A and B are shown apart, each in its own frame.
Chain A
Amino acid sequence: MPLYILQRLGMMLLTLWAIVTLTFFLMHAVPGGPFVSERMLAPEIEAALNAKYGLDQPIWVQYLSYLRGIVTLDLGPSFKYPGVSINTMIADGLPVTLRTGLLAVIAVVALGVPLGIVAALNRNRWPDTTVMLIATIGVAIPSYVIATVTLYIFALRLGWVPTFGLDDWRGYILPVFALSGFWISFVARLTRSSLLETFEQDYMTTARAKGLRPGQVLFKHGLRNSLIPVITILGPVVANLITGSFVIEQIFALPGIGRQFVLSITNRDYTAIMGITIFYAAALMVMILIVDLLYAVLDPRIKLTEASA
């Protein structure tokens, strides 16, 4: 097991390197640069800026020096905001994104899974049809529609929550809801179908034939097996939610990194693009590793063994 984790971490570093390389060269292959704008800069100034940030060097020299920076966990300076390093840029935006993201994750698990259970237990009766109707709507409606509609109703019309800002807990309600709405619905549907499939299994009949109480049958025998597909998608969902959403952060004016990421692309802020890409990739890979480790806990048939060869 520890060897397995080490191996996986090694693979992650390799994957990260591939992502860095690919992003780096793709980014530079696109015409234009951080200092090209409608307002033409004097050629001397542009040359001086390029020299300052090393953009006048051959591309492989830039690549190597960037790699050197990453190894020392230095993501370099921002090209757009003088004096701001990408490290501080992420450090500034991350707490906000992380907080809303984690709250959204909690909402997905705390609402999605129980709603799915309620639906499955009441198959084809009103609680099931109600939950599934809402969940279908939740999957179909894009998050920005949820965001603007709820903003209009609850903030503007009813005034129950602020329209923007995270000054108190009420400020979190709408952004978290908009972020998690789709995934709550998705997880509810998945939990329901997975549970219904498990209910058909022979070992569920065995559990009842043993005289176990309904709660034991459901939670000990049913849920454990049903949650494997849910855990599978939860990994990427967590990575997705904690790295922020441009749209939601834009609508609610949250100073998170999701917003920074998209702005950095329009700004052609090379180091910011790289830094946030690396951050997102790393988060995703860590989550997938955690999910794989969780599988082994949930399902003893899955043995985590080192790759042979």
Chain B
Amino acid sequence: MTEPILSVRDLKTSFFTQRGEVQAVRGVSFDVYPGEILGIVGESGSGKSITCMSILRLLKPAGRIKSGSAIFDGQDLMTLSEADLSDVRGNRIGMIFQDPMTSLNPTLSVGEQVIETILRHRKATRAEARARAVELFELVRIPSAAERLKSYPHEFSGGMRQRVMIAIALACDPKLLIADEPTTALDVTIQRQILGLLRDLQQRLGMAVILITHDLGVIAEVTDRIVVMYGGLVMETGPVRDLFATPKHPYTRGLLASVPDLRDDTHRRLTPIPGSPPDMAHPPSGCPFTPRCPHAMRICATDLPPIFGIGQGARCWLHHPEAPPSLLPSREKVPEGRMRGPSP
């Protein structure tokens, strides 16, 4: 197997607030391989965004990375000096954010915001950087690219601004692109366009992508592998096809059951997951999903299960090698219509 381009191990990040320590990320590990799209999925507060902000150490002052490593290209991003890390940011790792309306500086022209990134990491004259910016605008399909360099963010629509953000992130040919809910703030039709663009660019440029989202439709459509997060932990991980076909973790099953399927004409009701996510200021000692889990056992409330399984792994006692198979929820419990894999 090829070497992973990014290896995150046992990452723990907390926010220190007046309420005390909020443990947003509680020991997350995953790998990203060259040229793949890894989806990180979870509801708000699951720690998925904080995980990615931690990788580039872009947390707000209240946030602190407590432990863990993130090996990228042989370097641990967690121990790199701030100056060395800033050589990686925007250069070998690009990042785009959720809200394109606020992620661009309103007082600088969009061209300048691309050009300054190029000038920071490449030995280029201003004219060369400008030419590259035009190239990038064409790459992300901004019409009349050369003229649009002079425009300001407020003269762009949300979708166009997200294209500018993508152009900035791709400015220095990154090996890894971290996309933190890149389509959440956009109109549905624009979401499709941006997503299509991202997948297209990923294939053309051959970079790896971490795509963070709470939208399973997005995941099914573009990702190769999935990391499902809940309560600051990885709950299940595996190839997208397997995960959609045979979700192992009750939480993953719940997630899939709560997605509407327009091809399903049986008028079956959507099944919401009852309850709400755990309070991360006082995380439970056992599996954080226990209070909401239909299969919860006594051990679940007290002991946190490890991840069982190779390839497709689930953090659930039901999948303990010695657990009696009768404990496993039968597949019929997940409605047939929800179990379709990603469309080819």
A203 to B120, CA, bound (A): 17
Interface-central residue, A201, A203, A211, by most chain B CB under 10 Å: A211
User: In the complex, are the beta carbons of A206 and B168 less than 8 A apart?
Assistant: yes
B105 pairs with A211, CB closer than 8 A: no
Of B95-103, B126-134, B236-244, B327-335, the stretch lying at the interface with chain A is B95-103
Interface size class of A (residues with CB under 8 A): 20 to 34
Residues of B within 8 A of A206 (CB): 97, 103-105, 165, 168
Q: What residues of A have a CB within 8 angstroms of the CB of B88 in the complex?
A: 211
Contact A207–B105 (Cβ < 8 Å) = yes
Q: How far is the CB of A298 from chain B (nearest CB, A)?
A: 7
Known pairs A123-B61, A206-B165, A220-B116; A213 contacts B106 (CB<8 A): no
Contact B152 A210 (CB under 8 A): no
B336 at the interface (CB under 8 A from A): no
Q: Are B89 and A209 in contact (CB under 8 A)?
A: yes
B199 close to A (CB within 8 Å): no
Q: Which of B60, B86, B97 contacts A213 (CB 8 A)?
A: B86
A211 engages B117 (CB within 8 Å): yes
Distance (whole angstroms) from the CB of B161 to the closest CB of chain A? 11
Give bound CA distance, A36 to B119, whole Å.
Answer: 74
Decide: B107 and A202 in contact? CB cutoff 8 A: no
Asked if B69 lies at the interface with its beta carbon under 8 angstroms from chain A, I say no
Interface size class of B (residues with CB under 8 A): 20 to 34
Picked from B60, B90, B99, B109, the residue with its CB within 8 Å of the CB of A210 is B90
Are B116 and A203 neighbours in the complex by a CB distance under 8 Å? no
Does A28 make an interface contact (CB < 8 A)?
no
How far does the alpha carbon of A205 sit from the alpha carbon of B56 in the complex, in Å?
11
Do A225 and B87 have beta carbons less than 8 Å apart? no
Q: Could you list 22 A-B pairs, sorted by A, with CB under 8 Å?
A: A202-B103, A203-B102, A203-B104, A206-B97, A206-B103, A206-B104, A206-B165, A209-B95, A210-B89, A210-B90, A210-B117, A210-B120, A211-B87, A211-B89, A211-B90, A212-B90, A220-B108, A221-B105, A224-B108, A299-B107, A300-B106, A300-B152
Return the 8 tightest CB-CB contacts between A and B, nearest first. Answer: A211-B90, A210-B90, A211-B89, A202-B102, A203-B105, A300-B152, A209-B95, A210-B117
Interface positions of B (Cβ within 8 A of A) = 56, 58, 60-61, 82, 86-91, 95, 97, 99, 102-109, 116-117, 120-121, 152, 154, 165, 168
